[in-house]
Amino acid sequence: MTIKTSIPESELLSAGHLACQGCGATLAMRYALKGLGKETVLVTPACCWTILAGPAPRLSVGVPLLHCPFATAAATASGLKAGLVAKGDEKTQVVVWAGDGGTFDIGLQALSGAADRNEDILYVCYDNEAYMNTGIQRSGGTPQKAWTMTTQGKGGSERPKKDLDSILEAHHIPYIATVTPGYPEDMVRKFKKARGIKGFRFIRVLSPCPPGWKHDSSDTVDLSKLAVQTGSFALYEIEDGAFRLSMKTPKRKAVGEYLKRQGRFRHLTEKDIVEMQEVVDAAWKRYESRS
Amino acid sequence: MPRLAFDPEKTAPILISGRSMAENKTGIWRSIRPQIDKEKCTHCMVCWKYCPEACVDIASGIPEINMGYCKGCAICADVCPADCVEMVEEVAR
Amino acid sequence: MRKVLMGNHAAAVGVKLARTDVVSAYPITPQTQIIEMLNDLGESGQFTGRFIKVESEHSAMAACLGSATVGARSFTATSSQGLAYMHEMLHWVSGARLPIVMVDVNRAMGAPWILWTDQTDSLSQRDTGWMQFYCSSNQEILDSVLMAYRVAEQVLIPAMVVYDGFTLSHTYEPVDVPDQKLVDEFLPKLENAYALRPDTAEAFSALPSPKEYYRLKARLDHDMTRALGVFEEAGKRFEEIFGRRYRLIEPYRCEDADTILVVSGAPASTAQAAVDDLRKQGCRAGLLKMRAFRPFPAEALRDFVRPGTRLAVVDRNYSQGHHGIFCEEIKSALFPLKSRPEVYGFIAGLGGGDITPELLKEIWKEADEGRADASTANWMEDAR
């Protein structure tokens, strides 16, 4: 047997969960738990994972999980950590597992507060770029020009995606990373690393969503990789303010290759795609100037 | 019997969820099924790596997809470097 | 040890004596001194609980959700807009059956901006599944924090200790600060059998079926009702240890009273003086102090009242378009009686207006002489 991968074999995600076929957020959880291991408690606000974790009395992960109201994940996790420490448990890792709506939008205040206090928790946002659990409405994480149920006009979403990582960086926290399930080894490595760091850590997972992005369920891994290979989504780490790209991509593929495989961008014109390429190129100038 | 028919003293104050979702057989969701050509399979386990259901068993060194759970997303067929996974129409059960 | 303490400091001392594990709070007038003092006590090493300085009241209660879920004794304090901002979380933590204790220092609700006391903030949280205990002195504040933890942890329902902004929160009174050893005897270490254990893969508050949800709510109601007895037992135990007795409702000079003032919070102390004055004038006046609002002591009330008497309910709160809130609840509790006392409702002191002995005596007389309207709320103002 030759497994050409460095990711652990043991599973903390159980089959039988209620995710849609080809769900990126399920793969994300699978790899995150491989990196984190046991002695982890998840805190989950309203998001797809509220359902995926299982209706009572069932659970689809091998670690404890606390459901909490939409706006509260970072605050609930802060309290949970404090409660554990008060009871003499310093080692259990408290991990928020929240969607982009619960992070970019309604949960941003609590997130900012917890980051500002440098709470000793790991906050993970699985970013599928819209309110998918309620049926694909625009969030602050929705990319410019993307179709959603609330951006159905000709041009799609008008505003650029909120630069959440920069907002987090402005909180002077010890660790920020981006990951996506197309690169499980990178994911597992970063979650392991995050576990070993004290203070507030933030990981954003770009998480393809077949019904929301309108792509075939078999394309989840491909799109996750294409997001990286086209530079639409950059894999990086920011450790104590030091920015480092995780993968050298000397020749990025054309952004169109990523966009054209998603129904949410079906309405884009060639001019739109040129504009989106320019946005990506500009972002990479900034990344490269920082590396 | 319109009255509440249970004894509150005998009901736990909260509902704790400790039973595994593995009790839920999602295989019935499937409309297409993966078939692995065991001759062509190189045992690279990439199908195991990318399965969102975590339902590919690699204990024997040869990938076995648990059809009790496989939802038929076809990621395994898409990512297989040896191109040995074929998706076929699910037959009526 | 006897000390002169303001109400807010009495609350903070209670929280310290309860050996609270986690405090999570956000500043708001007139509550702020509670958390300032706990912070000071923490910095000087006298209070060893964790203190989370959250960025909002919503997060304050969310942090309590997290800490109480793992079995840590948890506390927060707020007032007015802050309490309203927490509203969603109040429902959540009672549904999660977490024995959190919170102080609400009463402050009226805006708009317009208002700093002074009334009870509409706490009473409008009536249906959130929290217990509510009202205090009328600084001694009661300290003692109620201890009582609240004991009752909350026995029935697994969160409890709110409520008292008047400024009138009690910022006013100094002599307070007997109990010995830590005695407090430990009254309030043992929290052992919550339903706490999340980090080594056990279990989810908390996952989606149930409608039938399961319904039964959970029926169980909560069952335990809320049970809390009436648990409160009385705790009151007895408190008396055995500390020599002070607390009851769900507390009558004063009611034995032969024709008309009884029904009051909660600090004005209940003022009402004692009013009743004494009325008695000196030969009036058969009495006072009933309401200590518990949730669970509502309906049975105790029905046992207490006698036909032919009159109740003058003084509400420093209101439900727009209807009545004062205590008055509504009292009328509803007495309705099953075949022969009921007359109940008059008076609204007084909203937004911090003084409820003076003179005003209370006037209220008593209006009820005693049948001059007030029993069918509606009577809005009273001290004309001076």
| pLDDT given at position C142 | 98
Q: Indicate yes or no: CB of C222 within 8 angstroms of CB of B14.
A: no
User: How near does any CA of chain B get to the CA of A21, in Å?
Assistant: 5
Judge whether residue B49 has pLDDT over 90.
Answer: yes
Is B17 in CB contact (< 8 Å) with chain C? yes
Residue A215 falls within a domain, yes or no? yes
Beta carbons of B76 and B34 less than 8 angstroms apart: yes
A273-288 pLDDT, tens digit each: 999 999 999 999 999 9
Interface test with C, best of B1, B16, B24 (most C CBs within 10 A): B16
Q: Indicate yes or no: CB of A60 within 8 angstroms of CB of B21.
A: yes
| pLDDT given at position C383 | 66
Distance, CA of B61 to CA of B70 (rounded, Å): 19
Residue C381: band (very low, low, confident or very high) from pLDDT cuts 50, 70, 90 = confident
Is B11 in CB contact (< 8 Å) with chain C? yes
| pLDDT given at position A183 | 97
- Write out the residue range of the structural domain in which residue A58 sits: 24-290
| pLDDT given at position A3 | 61
User: How near does any CA of chain A get to the CA of C100, in Å?
Assistant: 12
Residue A41 falls within a domain, yes or no? yes
Q: CATH no. for residue C65?
A: 3.40.50.970
| pLDDT given at position A2 | 56
| Cis-peptide into A45, omega within 30 deg | no
Q: Which of A55, A59, A79 is closest, CB to CB, to C65?
A: A79
- Asked whether residue C308 falls in the same domain as residue C361, the answer is yes
Residue A8 falls within a domain, yes or no? no
Which residues on C lie below 8 Å from A118 (Cβ)?
none
Task: With residue A208 as reference, give the H or E element that holds it.
Answer: none
* Residue burial C200-217, b: 16+ Cβ < 10 Å; e: rest: ebbbbbbbbeeeeeebbe
Judge whether residue B6 has pLDDT over 80.
Answer: no
* Residue burial C250-278, b: 16+ Cβ < 10 Å; e: rest: eebbbeebbbbbbbbbbbbbbbbebbebb
| pLDDT given at position B93 | 54
Q: Indicate yes or no: CB of C66 within 8 angstroms of CB of A64.
A: no
- Asked whether residue C177 falls in the same domain as residue C29, the answer is yes
Is A5 in CB contact (< 8 Å) with chain B? yes
Residue A180 falls within a domain, yes or no? yes
Distance, CA of B64 to CA of B47 (rounded, Å): 10
Task: With residue A100 as reference, give the H or E element that holds it.
Answer: none
Rounded mean pLDDT, C290-314: 97
In the complex, which subunits touch B with 3 or more CB pairs below 8 angstroms? Answer: A, C
| Cis-peptide into C10, omega within 30 deg | no
C-alpha to C-alpha distances, A38 to A86, A197, B89, nearest whole angstrom: 20, 16, 39
- Asked whether residue C150 falls in the same domain as residue C116, the answer is yes
Residue A203 falls within a domain, yes or no? yes
Beta carbons of B28 and C242 less than 8 angstroms apart: no
Picking from C189, C213, C242, the residue at the C-terminal end of a domain is: C242
Is B81 in CB contact (< 8 Å) with chain C? no
- Asked whether residue C235 falls in the same domain as residue C268, the answer is no
Residue C189 falls within a domain, yes or no? yes
Distance, CA of A29 to CA of C62 (rounded, Å): 24
Of the candidates C342, C350, C196, C365, the residue with the CA atom closest to the CA atom of residue C281: C365
Q: Which three-class secondary structure string do you get for chain C?
A: CEEEEEHHHHHHHHHHHCCCCEEEECCCCCCHHHHHHHHHHHHCCCCCCEEEECCCHHHHHHHHHHHHHCCCCEEEEECHHHHHHCHHHHHHHHHCCCCCEEEEEECCCCCCCCCCCCCHHHHCCHHHCCEEEECCCHHHHHHHHHHHHHHHHHHCCCEEEEEECCCCCCCEEEEECCCHHHHHHHCCCCCCCCCCCCCCCCEECCCCCHHHHHHHHHHHHHHHHHHHHHHHHHHHHHHHHHCCCCCCEEEECCCCCCEEEEECCCHHHHHHHHHHHHHHCCCCEEEEEECEEECCCHHHHHHHCCCCCEEEEEECCCCCCCCCHHHHHHHHHHCCCCCCCEEEEEECCHHHCCCCHHHHHHHHHHHHCCCCCCCCEEECCCCC
Distance, CA of C265 to CA of C125 (rounded, Å): 17
Q: Indicate yes or no: CB of A15 within 8 angstroms of CB of B69.
A: yes
- Asked whether residue C324 falls in the same domain as residue C223, the answer is no
Is C383 in CB contact (< 8 Å) with chain A? no
Query: Per-block average pLDDT, block size 10, for chain A (291 residues)?
Result: 74 97 98 98 98 97 98 98 98 98 98 98 98 97 97 93 98 98 98 98 98 98 98 97 89 97 97 97 95 83
Residue A57 falls within a domain, yes or no? yes
Q: How many CB atoms lie within 10 A of CB A146?
A: 24
| pLDDT given at position C382 | 78
Distance, CA of A89 to CA of C212 (rounded, Å): 33
Q: Where are the domains of chain B?
A: 27-89
- Tell me which amino acid residue C155 is: V
| Cis-peptide into C341, omega within 30 deg | no
- Asked whether residue C257 falls in the same domain as residue C375, the answer is yes
Residue C76 falls within a domain, yes or no? yes
- Asked whether residue C274 falls in the same domain as residue C226, the answer is no
Q: Indicate yes or no: CB of A15 within 8 angstroms of CB of B49.
A: no
Residue C172 falls within a domain, yes or no? yes
Residue C384: band (very low, low, confident or very high) from pLDDT cuts 50, 70, 90 = low
Residue B11: band (very low, low, confident or very high) from pLDDT cuts 50, 70, 90 = confident
- Asked whether residue C201 falls in the same domain as residue C347, the answer is no
In the complex, which subunits touch A with 3 or more CB pairs below 8 angstroms? Answer: B, C
Q: CATH no. for residue A191?
A: 3.40.50.970
Q: Indicate yes or no: CB of C219 within 8 angstroms of CB of B15.
A: no
In the complex, which subunits touch C with 3 or more CB pairs below 8 angstroms? Answer: A, B
Q: Indicate yes or no: CB of A54 within 8 angstroms of CB of C206.
A: yes
Judge whether residue B4 has pLDDT over 80.
Answer: no
CATH annotation of B27-89: 3.30.70.20
Picking from C227, C242, C257, the residue at the C-terminal end of a domain is: C242
* Residue burial C299-328, b: 16+ Cβ < 10 Å; e: rest: eebeebbeeebbbbbbbbbbbeeebbbbbb
Is C256 in CB contact (< 8 Å) with chain A? no
- Write out the residue range of the structural domain in which residue C100 sits: 2-242
For C309, the token pair is: 């008497």
- Asked whether residue C310 falls in the same domain as residue C188, the answer is no
Average pLDDT value over all residues in chain A = 96
Sign of the dihedral defined by the CA atoms of residues A158, A133, A108, A12, in that order: negative
Of the candidates A102, C22, A160, the residue with the CA atom closest to the CA atom of residue A111: A102
- Asked whether residue C147 falls in the same domain as residue C195, the answer is yes
Of the candidates A138, A82, A74, A198, the residue with the CA atom closest to the CA atom of residue C42: A82
Residue C254 falls within a domain, yes or no? yes
The total number of structural domains in chain A stands at: 1
Judge whether residue C39 has pLDDT over 60.
Answer: yes
Residue C222 falls within a domain, yes or no? yes
C36 by Cβ neighbours in 10 Å (0-12 / 13-18 / 19+) ranks as: middle
Residue A11 falls within a domain, yes or no? no
Picking from C214, C242, C270, the residue at the C-terminal end of a domain is: C242
The total number of structural domains in chain C stands at: 2
- Asked whether residue C49 falls in the same domain as residue C69, the answer is yes
| pLDDT given at position B1 | 59
Q: Indicate yes or no: CB of A89 within 8 angstroms of CB of C198.
A: yes
C-alpha to C-alpha distances, A56 to A33, A51, C91, C202, nearest whole angstrom: 21, 10, 19, 10
CA angle C352, C119, C348 (to 5 degrees): 50
Judge whether residue C92 has pLDDT over 70.
Answer: yes
- Asked whether residue C218 falls in the same domain as residue C73, the answer is yes
Residue C384 falls within a domain, yes or no? no
